[in-house]
Structure 1
Amino acid sequence: MKALKKISILFLILTAFIACNTKNKEDHSTHQTKESLFYTCSMDPQVKEDKPGKCPICHMELTPMKNDESAVNEIALSAQQIKLGNITTQTIAETQSSVEQSYTGVLTINQEKIKTISARAMGRIEKLYFKSVGDYIAKNQPVYQLYSEDIAIAKQDYSTAYKQLSMPGDFGKNAKTMLNVAKQKLLFFGLSNTQIESIKTSNEVSPYTTFYSTYSGTISELIATEGSYIMEGSGIIKLANLNSLWLETQVNVNYSKSMHLGQNAKVSFIDFPEKTVNARISFINPEINPDTRLLLIRMEVPNQNLLLKPGMQAMVRLTQSSLKGLFVSADAVIREENASYIWIEKRPGVFESLMVETGAETNVMIEIKSEMDPAKKVVITGAYAINSEYKFRKGSDPMEGMKM
């Protein structure tokens, strides 16, 4: 009887031990399952909660997800996900080809072809013969009339000296010297030889002088106005020679590395689709715009018949011949604000993001300037699908784990 009791007690103890051990395993398993799940939002993948509910941003129902135990910048996909995402890979090798890059730009006035008509003496502008920006002034046309006491005095000295030339002795010799001095002064003030000669025959010296343009051009700026007083050297009108225009465009700093001064370009125009002209890069701004990360490129465009107008939009095509490098599909490169990256296949079903430096670009291909392992396979289609799945699972950007 005592032996039977002992056996019963031992059986109860064993049963209790097994039950407790099983419960601990179940609790631990439940704990592990709970820890392996989190809840996120398909619209806002940065939201991660440890229990079901609604998204605090868009109020959609949260979706349960398993924690991704893969390394930073890596993601594992099933065969079905790879098929649905149309994810394909291939190794890339260095090739040699011609690359054509296209940019949009705007025609502007060639600042090197601008001339300023300035006052040669102090005085008051009595009349402007042209009063509108855009007016064309031909060479030798009158531009403005100036009232100047300095010029009037020089005119009077010239007239007096001329009248004294016929006097005998030293008077005549001194008059000749005074005549030469007065003429040089009038030439300095901007009077022509014809205007100076006319003083000899005039009965009265006028304080008003008309000045003529010494070159042709289109008025780009009116600096002075009628009735205003100006100092010697002050600008009155700016004339632009529109036979040559500038074409300015903004390019990404990564693309500008392959450009150089004198590089040939073909330019077409939205307003004249049938017209194409040849141009060359004449200026590459050494300073990058810190806000846009763009670089100013300038070309000089001939405009002999004045058909082209400042402000017109144009398309620039730059061709680089025999360019050697690694090129991938444009869809393979993910662009972020400060950098670009691609996805490579680390092993079957596992993909890793890799930051790269890009170079020349066409409509369909992008040059990779970073060193690449030739054995690695690059994702050429479906890169954005991988990127979206990564953000959805991990709630972060794959760039966060990269070294800048």
Structure 2
Amino acid sequence: MKKYIVYIVILIVGVTLGWLLFGGSSEGGNHNHASETAEGNKMWTCSMHPQIMQPEPGDCPICGMDLIPAEAGAEGLAANQFKLTKNALALANVQTTVIGNAMSIDNTIILSGKIAENEKSNAVQVSYFAGRIERLNVNFTGEKINKGQLLATIYSPELVKAQQELLTAASLKENQPELYKAVRNKLKLWKLSENQINQIEKTGVVKENFPVYATVTGTVSEKLVEQGDYVSQGQALLKLANLSTVWANFDVYENQISNFKVGQNISITTNAYPNEVFNAKVSFIDPVMNPETRTITMRAVLNNNKGKFKPAMFVTGKVQATEKHSEQQLSIPATSVLWTGKRSVVYVKPEADKPVFEMREVILGGRVGENYQVEKGLNPGEEIVTNGVFTIDASAQLQGKKSMMNHTKEIIESFSTPKAFKEQLQKAYEDYIKLKDALVKTDANKAKESAAELNKSIELIDMKLLTNEAAHKQWMQLIPVLKEGSADMAKTIDVDVQRKFFKTVSDHFIKAVQSFGINEVTYKQYCPMADSDKGAYWLSKEKQVLNPYFGDMMLKCGEVKETINNN
């Protein structure tokens, strides 16, 4: 009995101590309360549309997919913003700087260029008589050729006949000296030397295979024939480049042209010889601008007797600007720029005290020293990433945000379009909408019929109405794909195949509407899950999203990306 009393006393003491140590403390209660609060503040988002943030689980209002818990700390961020942890920033050695107006102290302009062959020294080795190449002594491109070197041996029936004529004329030269002289001159025109002609005449032996000797010294830049080929008189055998001098061609931006003149000193460096500086002078400035790159070519001639410069080698030129600009211009470090095709992007830190970043597209001017001039896209006082830019971009891509790799925004030029052309494009747009509606309903037969109507409408659009050269060029780029894509859709009743063609047709039709306009407002819509999660666009008359790529499967998956109103 006493034993049970002892056990009971021990139990009561343990419970009392537990209550004193834990039960009366508010820490546990606060912990539970905090958990409940955190759970109550949890946000829910869509894996395909991260801009969607809701305080409770449910379906995505865009695509209908189940919402998932949002990453902690993601609240309050814009659609294109993303956040990195302090550890990630430290590991990537991310550095930022606040930008302001600045100019290069020494007013030096840095240009990028390439080594090219000196066209003045280039030559073509030709065959001066017709025949078959019996032996070709040039083995490969890049081989050095010296003047007078045997290049090939050619069998020429015409030359055989001419030698026979020489022997005949030689026997009659006392009676017919003019004939004899004419035959010798004929052989000289075929580049036979006096010694060769005298040797034929002296021996009385007709040569069947005749040698071809190099008329210039140079390096073989291209072999145009092979052994056994038949060549005609005057046909090119080899292209030869004399690389004793080469050109250094540099691209000069439109706003830099006034800083250069012929005879100006330029310092040139290469990656191959980083510790050497080659001094030259500007020898030529192209009077015609490249309309696509908006640059002109500036040239310097380099001595290349030692063979250091190779055609296509990248070079950098430094030139002292002839004009000092009193007006300061916004500039950013070259290390902060990422290049994506024709576009340039940087990463901006919107708030100084938060590790939040977003991508920004910028338009750059010329390079001055280690900086690029900024024409558009940034403002003084903004903070940008200057080191670790690739790591930041990779993080954006992993989090599904806009990055260099997935940023495909394209600026479409719009034109003043003749009324008749716009009306014809409007008719094609109406047929396009019928095709889109048929795919929304997954009606392959109706889609086939509508695609045929669209094809006819596109065929009837008169491109001669576009008198603007740029507009005409834009339409000529779009029309082949529109015609071919709509024709291919009209050949099948497989709705999956139709939808694949519809994506291509839509991309080009959207460009057409953006460039030339129609007589009403239209909505450019986008589904990120179409085309195997690559995403696809289409046009619609209404804001309401009705997905032509999935139909009833995911009818409302998508969003309005742009309202096009250029009627």
Same fold by TM-score, threshold 0.5 exceeded? Answer: yes
Match status 1:101 vs 2:110: yes
Aligned position for 1:361: 367
> Cα distance, 1:260 vs. partner?
5.2
Indicate if the aligned counterparts of 1:52 and 1:63 stay in contact, CA closer than 8 A.
no
Indicate if the aligned counterparts of 1:95 and 1:326 stay in contact, CA closer than 8 A.
no
Indicate if the aligned counterparts of 1:38 and 1:48 stay in contact, CA closer than 8 A.
no
> Cα distance, 1:216 vs. partner?
0.5
Indicate if the aligned counterparts of 1:90 and 1:378 stay in contact, CA closer than 8 A.
yes
Aligned position for 1:278: 279
Aligned position for 1:379: 381
User: Structure 1 residues 159 and 295, CA, compared in 2 at 3 Å: closer, same or farther?
Assistant: same
CA distance in 2, matches of 1:213, 1:129: 11
2:115 counterpart letter in structure 1: L
When normalised by structure 1's length, the TM-score is 0.60
> Cα distance, 1:60 vs. partner?
3.8
> Cα distance, 1:340 vs. partner?
7.7
> Cα distance, 1:182 vs. partner?
0.8
CA distance in 2, matches of 1:59, 1:111: 65
Give ranges in structure 1 of 5+ residues lacking alignment: 1-36, 69-85, 167-171, 344-353
> Cα distance, 1:305 vs. partner?
2.6
> Cα distance, 1:336 vs. partner?
8.9
User: Structure 1 residues 95 and 143, CA, compared in 2 at 3 Å: closer, same or farther?
Assistant: closer
CA distance in 2, matches of 1:339, 1:111: 34
Aligned position for 1:210: 211
Match status 1:61 vs 2:78: no
1:360 counterpart letter in structure 2: G
Alignment of 1:1-400 (within 5 A): 47-51=51-55, 60-61=70-71, 63=73, 92=101, 98-103=107-112, 105-166=113-174, 172=175, 175-248=176-249, 262=262, 264-279=265-280, 280=282, 282=284, 286-288=290-292, 299-310=300-311, 312-324=313-325, 325-330=327-332, 338=343, 358-367=364-373, 378-379=380-381, 381=383
Which structure would you say has the larger RCO, counting Cα contacts within 8 Å and 6 or more residues apart? 1
Indicate if the aligned counterparts of 2:260 and 2:322 stay in contact, CA closer than 8 A.
no
1:150 counterpart letter in structure 2: E
Indicate if the aligned counterparts of 2:57 and 2:68 stay in contact, CA closer than 8 A.
no
Residues 281-317 of structure 1, C-alpha deviations (whole Å, 9 max, x = no match) = 746661436xxx9887665432123233335443333
| Number of corresponding residues | 319
> Cα distance, 1:381 vs. partner?
4.3
Larger radius of gyration: 1
User: Structure 1 residues 232 and 59, CA, compared in 2 at 3 Å: closer, same or farther?
Assistant: farther
Indicate if the aligned counterparts of 1:40 and 1:47 stay in contact, CA closer than 8 A.
no
When normalised by structure 2's length, the TM-score is 0.45
Indicate if the aligned counterparts of 1:38 and 1:49 stay in contact, CA closer than 8 A.
no
CA distance in 1, matches of 2:121, 2:304: 13
Indicate if the aligned counterparts of 2:252 and 2:298 stay in contact, CA closer than 8 A.
no
Identical counterparts, % of pairs:
19
RMSD across aligned positions (CA): 5.1
CA distance in 2, matches of 1:382, 1:239: 50
1:51 counterpart letter in structure 2: P
CA distance in 2, matches of 1:230, 1:63: 76
Indicate if the aligned counterparts of 1:133 and 1:220 stay in contact, CA closer than 8 A.
yes
User: Structure 1 residues 328 and 265, CA, compared in 2 at 3 Å: closer, same or farther?
Assistant: same
User: Structure 1 residues 201 and 294, CA, compared in 2 at 3 Å: closer, same or farther?
Assistant: same
> Cα distance, 1:369 vs. partner?
5.5
Residues 94-128 of structure 1, C-alpha deviations (whole Å, 9 max, x = no match) = 9996133253x443434443211111121111222
Indicate if the aligned counterparts of 1:220 and 1:240 stay in contact, CA closer than 8 A.
yes
Residues 216-255 of structure 1, C-alpha deviations (whole Å, 9 max, x = no match) = 0112222222222112222212211011224456x69577
1:327 counterpart letter in structure 2: Q
> Comparing 119-128 with 240-249, which one deviates more in the overlay?
240-249
User: Structure 1 residues 136 and 368, CA, compared in 2 at 3 Å: closer, same or farther?
Assistant: closer
User: Structure 1 residues 256 and 91, CA, compared in 2 at 3 Å: closer, same or farther?
Assistant: closer
SS of 1:160's equivalent in the other structure is helix
1:161 counterpart letter in structure 2: A
CA distance in 1, matches of 2:186, 2:227: 25
> Cα distance, 1:148 vs. partner?
0.9
User: Structure 1 residues 364 and 264, CA, compared in 2 at 3 Å: closer, same or farther?
Assistant: same
SS of 1:322's equivalent in the other structure is coil
SS of 1:61's equivalent in the other structure is coil
SS of 1:271's equivalent in the other structure is coil
Residues 323-371 of structure 1, C-alpha deviations (whole Å, 9 max, x = no match) = 313233416998896578999xxxxxxxxxx99864332355443568x
CA distance in 1, matches of 2:363, 2:161: 71
1:367 counterpart letter in structure 2: Q
SS of 2:108's equivalent in the other structure is strand
User: Structure 1 residues 150 and 256, CA, compared in 2 at 3 Å: closer, same or farther?
Assistant: farther
2:123 counterpart letter in structure 1: K
| Greater helix share, structure number | 2
User: Structure 1 residues 281 and 213, CA, compared in 2 at 3 Å: closer, same or farther?
Assistant: same
Give ranges in structure 2 of 5+ residues lacking alignment: 1-40, 61-65, 79-94, 349-359, 387-391, 404-408, 414-567
SS of 1:184's equivalent in the other structure is helix
Residues 133-166 of structure 1, C-alpha deviations (whole Å, 9 max, x = no match) = 2222211122212111111222222222122223
Indicate if the aligned counterparts of 1:108 and 1:247 stay in contact, CA closer than 8 A.
yes
> Cα distance, 1:65 vs. partner?
5.1
CA distance in 2, matches of 1:297, 1:215: 29
SS of 1:278's equivalent in the other structure is strand
